[in-house]
């Protein structure tokens, strides 16, 4: 069971209110405590994906807020917040209670989830069966596993995959957060399906890479061999078929406009129903279809899958995105003291370089300074 402090830090991270020193405390806890890492991934996935169908988080949240307001009004604490009171003061007050309520809900989820996993298998549904396994990698660590059907998976750093010990249904389904390279055992009678928070990937037998880190601005699916079908959780009727050397890029932030894919020949017919002008369009997922990226012309090194061969490759990548990848690769936290530095672009390849050697190499391309304190790196 997660501690109260752990729940508090996780809540602040999920709601975006975590302070730098609190984030360092959370990362230190995750790095040193295997159980905390497992709880972190489990609770974060349930919060983001809302897989806890037996817990209505939104309803519970509203009830908690309403109950707090009633109790505070009865005790007279809210009397100073009249209609003429400063708006900022009201907002800060409500925000603090929203954080408390979020912590409370996470505690409920934590209790419910772990009680659910401890039940006999006869009480579980297909998704949370007793024989489901999970593999979690920390920052700076990669792992390989072979599933019961012979499918090979390489799991990148700071990633989590959930899979059954034995596939016994009509499909072979796994759940991924982070990045993984799949070499799927061919079985036309039992399609292999990968679930992420934005898309579902259906395959028969193929090699491809999936990157879906929660804090990245985009997620990617890159196909090397075979064929895969991608559907969106917010538009299940849309289907995109990828052929070898295709890369699908999916934005992690929803937008309120229609997005046209780069190559329409990959799409099946889509729902073109138009809404009335007075009704704002529903949020949709932004995506585009491109080709995979080679490190250099006439070079066989593929940027998207180079990590499988222990190569850290980047091509014309902005410093902020590169830093997020370096954090996972080197198990560090990188902080920028100047927003302008985040827009610098780099191309390069690291293999056995330390974080200090890597940053020194980047300095040869763009002018910046850095300081390393333990697992924290400061760019200025």
User: If we measure between CA atoms, which residue out of 128, 135, 155 comes closest to residue 143?
Assistant: 155
Q: What is the pLDDT of residue 309?
A: 94
**Residue 155 located in a structural domain:** yes
Q: From CA 377, how far away is CA 370, in angstroms rounded?
A: 7
Residues 146 and 203 in one domain: yes
Residue 177's domain comprises: 132-291
Helices of type H across the chain: 4-15, 20-32, 34-49, 57-75, 87-118, 319-330, 355-363
The confidence band for 106, taking pLDDT boundaries of 50, 70 and 90, is low
Tokens of 88: 């900022």
Which residues are paired to 97 by β-bridges?
Answer: none
Give ∠ CA 222-190-198 in degrees, rounded to 5: 40
Residues 150 and 179 in one domain: yes
Q: From CA 23, how far away is CA 27, in angstroms rounded?
A: 6
Q: From CA 343, how far away is CA 300, in angstroms rounded?
A: 28
pLDDT at 171 > cutoff 50: yes
Q: Would you give the DSSP letter of residue 284?
A: B
Backbone angles phi, psi at 131, to 5 degrees: -95, 15
Residues 99 and 201 in one domain: no
Which residues are paired to 66 by β-bridges?
Answer: none
Residues 144 and 252 in one domain: yes
Q: What is the pLDDT of residue 233?
A: 84
Q: From CA 265, how far away is CA 44, in angstroms rounded?
A: 37
**Residue 65 located in a structural domain:** yes
The confidence band for 47, taking pLDDT boundaries of 50, 70 and 90, is low
Question: What crossing angle do the helices spanning 20-32 and 4-15 adopt, rounded to 10°?
Answer: 120
Residues 152 and 261 in one domain: yes
**Residues 178, 143: contact at Cβ < 8 Å?**
no
The confidence band for 116, taking pLDDT boundaries of 50, 70 and 90, is very low
pLDDT at 179 > cutoff 50: yes
Give the whole-number percent of the chain exceeding pLDDT 90: 46
**Residue 298 located in a structural domain:** no
Domain boundary among 118, 141, 174: 118
* Lowest mean pLDDT, pick from 121-135, 227-241, 339-353: 121-135
Backbone angles phi, psi at 211, to 5 degrees: -125, 120
Instruction: Give the pLDDT mean for 349-373.
Output: 95
Residues 136 and 283 in one domain: yes
Most confident of 5-14, 111-120, 128-137, 292-301: 292-301
**Residue 301 located in a structural domain:** no
**Residue 350 located in a structural domain:** yes
Coil, helix or strand at residue 333: strand
**Residue 364 located in a structural domain:** yes
Residues 275 and 344 in one domain: no
Residues 75 and 138 in one domain: no
User: If we measure between CA atoms, which residue out of 233, 206, 222, 225 comes closest to residue 50?
Assistant: 233
**Residue 274 located in a structural domain:** yes
Q: From CA 117, how far away is CA 188, in angstroms rounded?
A: 31
Tens digit of pLDDT for each residue in 245-295?
Answer: 999 998 866 443 333 343 434 444 333 444 434 444 445 568 899 998 998
**Residues 167, 174: contact at Cβ < 8 Å?**
no
Q: Would the CA dihedral through 297, 300, 305, 308 be positive or negative?
A: negative
Backbone angles phi, psi at 56, to 5 degrees: -85, 95
* Lowest mean pLDDT, pick from 27-36, 152-161, 254-263, 279-288: 254-263
Convert 141-158 into a string of H (helix), E (strand) and C (coil).
CCEEEECCCCCEEEECCC
376-379 vs 333-336, strand pairing mode:
parallel
Give the whole-number percent of the chain exceeding pLDDT 70: 65
Find the CATH number of the domain harbouring 348. Answer: 3.55.50.30
Instruction: Give the pLDDT mean for 223-250.
Output: 90
Tens digit of pLDDT for each residue in 287-340?
Answer: 899 998 998 877 789 999 999 999 999 999 999 999 999 999 999 999 999 999
**Residues 350, 312: contact at Cβ < 8 Å?**
yes
Residues 198 and 90 in one domain: no
Q: From CA 39, how far away is CA 254, in angstroms rounded?
A: 27
Domain boundary among 89, 118, 147: 118
**Residues 324, 215: contact at Cβ < 8 Å?**
yes
Domain boundary among 52, 86, 118: 118
Residues 200 and 249 in one domain: yes
**Residue 270 located in a structural domain:** yes
pTM assigned to the model: 0.61
Q: What is the pLDDT of residue 57?
A: 45
pLDDT at 14 > cutoff 70: no
Give the largest Cα separation in the chain, rounded. Answer: 74
pLDDT at 371 > cutoff 50: yes
Q: From CA 80, how far away is CA 83, in angstroms rounded?
A: 9
Q: What is the pLDDT of residue 164?
A: 93
Which residues are paired to 267 by β-bridges?
Answer: 240
Residues 93 and 166 in one domain: no
Q: From CA 106, how far away is CA 4, in angstroms rounded?
A: 10
Residues 281 and 317 in one domain: no
Backbone angles phi, psi at 38, to 5 degrees: -65, -45
* Lowest mean pLDDT, pick from 93-102, 209-218, 230-239: 93-102
The confidence band for 66, taking pLDDT boundaries of 50, 70 and 90, is low
Q: Would the CA dihedral through 73, 79, 85, 90 be positive or negative?
A: negative
Most confident of 27-31, 185-189, 279-283: 185-189
- Total count of domains within the chain: 3
């Amino acid at each position: 069971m997660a501690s109260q402090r752990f729940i508090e830090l996780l809540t602040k991270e999920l709601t975006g209110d975590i302070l730098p020193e609190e984030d360092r405390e959370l990362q230190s806890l995750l790095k040193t405590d295997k159980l905390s890492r497992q709880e972190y991934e489990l609770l974060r996935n349930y919060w983001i994906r809302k897989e806890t169908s037996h817990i209505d988080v939104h309803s519970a949240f509203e009830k908690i807020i309403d109950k707090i307001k009633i109790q505070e009004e009865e005790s007279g604490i809210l009397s100073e917040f009249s209609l003429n009171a400063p708006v900022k003061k009201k907002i800060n007050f409500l925000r603090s209670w929203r954080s408390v309520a979020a912590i409370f809900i996470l505690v409920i989820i934590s209790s419910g989830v772990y009680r659910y996993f401890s039940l006999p298998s006869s009480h579980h549904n297909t998704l949370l069966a007793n024989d489901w396994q999970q593999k979690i990698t920390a920052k700076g660590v990669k792992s390989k596993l072979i599933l019961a059907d012979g499918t090979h998976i390489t799991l990148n750093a700071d990633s989590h995959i959930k899979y059954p010990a034995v596939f016994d249904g009509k499909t072979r389904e796994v759940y991924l957060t982070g990045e993984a390279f799949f070499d799927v055992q061919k079985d036309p009678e039992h399609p292999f399906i990968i679930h992420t928070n934005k898309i579902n990937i259906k395959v028969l037998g193929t090699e491809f890479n999936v990157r879906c880190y929660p804090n990245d601005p985009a997620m990617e699916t890159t196909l090397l061999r075979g064929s895969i079908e991608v559907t969106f959780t917010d538009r299940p009727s849309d289907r995109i078929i990828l052929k070898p050397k295709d890369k699908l890029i999916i934005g992690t932030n929803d937008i309120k406009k229609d997005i046209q894919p780069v190559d329409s020949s990959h799409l099946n017919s889509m729902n073109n129903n138009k809404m009335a002008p007075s009704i704002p369009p529903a949020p949709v997922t932004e995506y585009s279809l491109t080709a995979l990226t080679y490190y250099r012309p006439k070079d066989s090194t593929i940027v998207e899958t180079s990590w499988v061969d222990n190569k850290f490759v980047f091509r014309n990548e902005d410093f902020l995105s590169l830093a997020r990848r370096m954090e996972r690769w080197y198990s560090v936290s990188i902080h920028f003291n100047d927003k302008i530095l985040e827009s610098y672009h780099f191309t390069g390849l690291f293999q056995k370089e330390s974080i200090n050697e890597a940053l020194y190499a980047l300095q040869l391309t763009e002018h910046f300074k850095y300081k390393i304190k333990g697992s924290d790196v400061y760019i200025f």
